Amino acid sequence: MTRAFRIGRIFGINIEVDYTWFIIFFIILVGLYTGFFARYLPGISQAARWLVAAVTALLFFTSVLLHELAHSIVAVRSGMKISGITLFLFGGMSKMTDEPKSPEIEFKMAIAGPLMSLALAAIFFAASIALSFASGGGVFGTVFRWLGIVNGMLAVFNLLPGFPLDGGRVLRAGLWKSMASLGDATRIAATFGQGLGVLMIVGGIFAFFSGAGFGGLWLAFIGWFLMQAAQSSYQQLILRQALSGMPVGAVMTEDVDVVPDYLTLDRVVQDYIMGRNHPAFPVQGDDRVRGLICLNDIRSVPRDRWHQVTAGEAAPALSERNTIAPTADAWEALVRMSTENCGRLVVIENGLLRGIVSRTDIMRLMRNRLELGI
Ligand SMILES: [Zn+2]
C-alpha cells in the first residue's frame, strides 16, 4: 500500500514524495499567486505570476528537503540508520529505524534541521536585500524575501518544545541527559508534544472563527497531526523497550516443517499451507535451507501453473531480508519484518535452520510481558 514514489537518492538516502504532498504544493502555489505575489508583484502578467509562484513553491520544498537532509546526514554520521526522507502533507519527515544512542547525538541531530533553515533564511534575506540595493528588488528580490520569511518560520516552528518536533527532541535530549532514562524523557517530551498539539487545535479553531480563514484550520490540522505523532512515538518507544534485550531465539518456533524444494506449488498449498495451517515454510534442498516460501510468493504464480512450478523456483532465496540470527533482538526482527509483507523470518545460525519467527509470536510476547508488568 505504498502512497509514495521515489524521486532520487542523495548521500545514500532515498528521497520520496507522498501523494498528499501534491495537496500542500497546490495550496502553497495558489496562496502565493493570490496572496503574497498579488500584493508585491502587481506589475507582472498572470502567466508570469503563476510561473514565479510555482518556482517559489518548488524552492520552498527544496528548503524543506535540505532541512531534513541536515537531520539525516548528522544521523547517518552518528551511526544511525535512516530509511529515507519523505515529503508529505505536513512538510518533510526523516524515517529513522532506531533511536539515537545518546542524548548528545539526539541533540546534534535535532538541532541540525532548524540550523539549516536559519542558514537558508539568512542567505535568502541577504540575497533579497542585496538585490533591493542593486536593482530595487524586482521579481527575484520578492521571491527571496518570501523564502527568507518562510525558512525563518520553519526554524522557529520546529524549535517549539513538543516531541516529536525538533524542539521537542532537544527537550528530550536535555531530560534524557539529566534523568538518565530515555523512557521517562520521552514520556515528558511527548506530553509536551500532545499539549502543544491541543493548544494549536484550540488556537487554530479560535483563529478560524475570528476570521483567519484557512490559516486557522491549517494550524488546527497540524496540531492534530502533532498530537497523534507524539502519542504514537511514545507507544513505539514502549514497544521497543519491551522487546530490546529479548533474543529472537526465545520467541521463535523451533519445530518447523520444511518444504522440499522439488515439491510443486499445488502440493505445497494442499499438504503444507492448508494441511498444517501455516502461511509460510522454509524451503529445503540438498540438506540445506535455501529459501522461505510465503502466501505472496505462491499467489504471484498464476494458478494454472501451480502444478508445474516448484517451491524452490517460487521461493525467494535466503538473504538479509528474510533471515535473522537467534541472538538478534526481537525488535530488530520486527523492524526487518515491517519492510517485508510475509510477516515471518527464518532463524538461521551458522547456516543451519533453528526455527521461524512471526510478527504474531512477537506481539503475543509483548502483550504477555505488558500484562504481567515485566
Ligand atoms: Zn526538523
**Nine cell digits for residue 102:** 545518546
Q: From the CA of 67, how far away is ligand 1's center (Å)?
A: 6
Cβ-based neighbours of 209, under 8 Å, separated by 6 or more: 216
Question: In terms of domains, do 190 and 316 share one?
Answer: no
Question: In terms of domains, do 221 and 343 share one?
Answer: no
Question: In this predicted structure, which of 5-9, 94-98, 280-284, 314-318 has the lowest mean pLDDT?
Answer: 94-98
Question: In terms of domains, do 348 and 238 share one?
Answer: no
Q: How far apart are CA 232 and CA 239, in angstroms?
A: 10
How many Cα atoms sit within 13 Å of 47 on the Cβ side? Answer: 0
Please give the pLDDT value at position 139: 84
Q: Is the pLDDT of residue 216 over 90?
A: no
Domain residues for 190? Answer: 4-243
Question: In terms of domains, do 88 and 232 share one?
Answer: yes
Measuring CA to CA, how many Å separate 300 from each of 70, 297, 306, 309?
40, 5, 10, 11
pLDDT, tens only, 26-49: 988 988 888 888 888 878 888 888
Measuring CA to CA, how many Å separate 205 from each of 217, 223, 228, 229, 330?
6, 11, 18, 20, 43
* Residue at which a domain ends, from 243, 258, 282: 243
Q: Are the C-beta atoms of 269 and 298 separated by less than 8 Å?
A: yes
Please give the pLDDT value at position 1: 38
Please give the pLDDT value at position 340: 66
CATH number where 311 lies:
3.10.580.10
Please give the pLDDT value at position 154: 92
Q: From the CA of 329, how far away is ligand 1's center (Å)?
A: 29
Confidence of residue 233 (pLDDT cuts 50, 70, 90): confident
Please give the pLDDT value at position 136: 67
Question: In terms of domains, do 233 and 304 share one?
Answer: no
Please give the pLDDT value at position 371: 80
Helical H segments across the chain, by residue range: 21-31, 37-40, 46-77, 103-135, 138-158, 166-179, 182-207, 214-243, 265-267, 295-299, 311-314, 330-338, 359-372
Burial group, residue 64, by CB count within 10 angstroms (0-12, 13-18, 19+): buried
Q: From the CA of 157, how far away is ligand 1's center (Å)?
A: 9
Q: From the CA of 71, how far away is ligand 1's center (Å)?
A: 7
Q: From the CA of 68, how far away is ligand 1's center (Å)?
A: 6
Percent of the chain with pLDDT over 90: 40
Cβ-based neighbours of 33, under 8 Å, separated by 6 or more: 49, 50, 53
Question: In terms of domains, do 195 and 208 share one?
Answer: yes
Q: Which contiguous run of DSSP H or E holds residue 6?
A: strand 4-10
Q: From the CA of 199, how far away is ligand 1's center (Å)?
A: 20
> Catalytic residue at 68?
yes
Question: In terms of domains, do 185 and 277 share one?
Answer: no
Question: In terms of domains, do 230 and 253 share one?
Answer: no
List the 352-358 sheet strands across, edge first. 323-324, 344-349, 352-358
Q: From the CA of 45, how far away is ligand 1's center (Å)?
A: 36
Confidence of residue 374 (pLDDT cuts 50, 70, 90): low
Q: Into how many domains does the chain fold?
A: 2
The catalytic position among 68, 254, 313, 340 is: 68
Q: How far apart are CA 137 and CA 130, in angstroms?
A: 8
Q: From the CA of 151, how far away is ligand 1's center (Å)?
A: 12
Question: In terms of domains, do 221 and 325 share one?
Answer: no
* Residue at which a domain ends, from 243, 258, 287: 243
pLDDT, tens only, 159-180: 999 988 999 999 999 999 998 8
Please give the pLDDT value at position 132: 81
pLDDT, tens only, 247-299: 898 889 888 889 999 999 999 998 888 888 888 899 998 888 889 999 888 99
* Residue at which a domain ends, from 219, 243, 267: 243
Please give the pLDDT value at position 80: 84
Question: In terms of domains, do 237 and 289 share one?
Answer: no
Question: In terms of domains, do 152 and 171 share one?
Answer: yes
